[in-house]
Amino acid sequence: MPDTPAEDLVKQWESVQARLRQQLVEEDTEDWQTRPGFLGLQRVGGVDLSFIKGDDVNACAQLVVLSYPGLEMLYEDSQMVTLTAPYIAGFLAFRETPFLLEALQRLQRDQPALLPQVVFVDGNGLFHYREFGLACHLGVLSGLPCVGVAKNLLQVQGVYKNEEHQSQALRSSDRSSKPVYVSVGHKISLDTAVRLTHSCCRYRVPEPIRQADCRSREYLRVRFPAADIGSKQ
């Protein structure tokens, strides 16, 4: 029997993932990553999408850039977007990455001096059952170091491979009893990703992601005051 459209799309996406996976760098590449106190790091980014509950198509795509180590807001970009790719487990990046990448490209075009030196992504990096999560996808396509930070430990289709080398649970704040799960996205080692994540936490979630989440939700609340604002679908 011929493949269904969904099967054809999965095969296409698997091919793209495999090609991008060959470009992934799992090591530190920037001078600031090996310096004491991350000397030379001045700008950290965070990205997220927020939805109106019951609507998994229209969302606010958010990019923030904070100073480092002060974690003060330097730049924000909130855009309403319409997701056209279907949701298929393991391929979330194909729904969300285009809009996050566009936000980074707008910043690079309009205010290149504010481009983040590393981007925190609300989701997994290598710690993903296909070993190529949203943080990897965005990292390779943008060329920027990326760190994946997941709030929940999700396992799909069995256990993760080489789990101990791909992610580390981090109790990021004394105020939180729940860990976050840090994994490599691109151009950063796991040890550096974990230390950097901890240094960016005022609460449980690192500040770049927390601010991206808060500001995208607020953007929706202002524009859709009667709606129930939800987290990422």
Average pLDDT of 4-12?
Answer: 85
What is the reported pLDDT for 167? 60
Q: If pLDDT is split at 50, 70 and 90, which confidence band does 154 have?
A: low
What is the reported pLDDT for 128? 76
Helices 134-142 + 5-21 axis angle, to 10 = 60
What is the reported pLDDT for 161? 45
Average pLDDT of 166-178?
Answer: 66
Tokens of residue 206, six digits? 């690192």
Q: Which domains does the chain have, with CATH numbers?
A: 5-230 (3.30.2170.10)
Q: Over 70: is that where the pLDDT of 5 sits?
A: no
Q: What is the pLDDT of residues 14-69, one digit of tens each?
A: 999 999 999 999 999 999 999 999 999 999 999 999 998 889 899 999 999 999 99
Contact present, 65 and 45 (Cβ < 8 Å): yes
Higher-confidence position of 226 and 156: 226
Mark out the alpha helices in the chain (DSSP H runs).
Answer: 5-21, 93-110, 134-142, 163-166, 190-199, 207-223
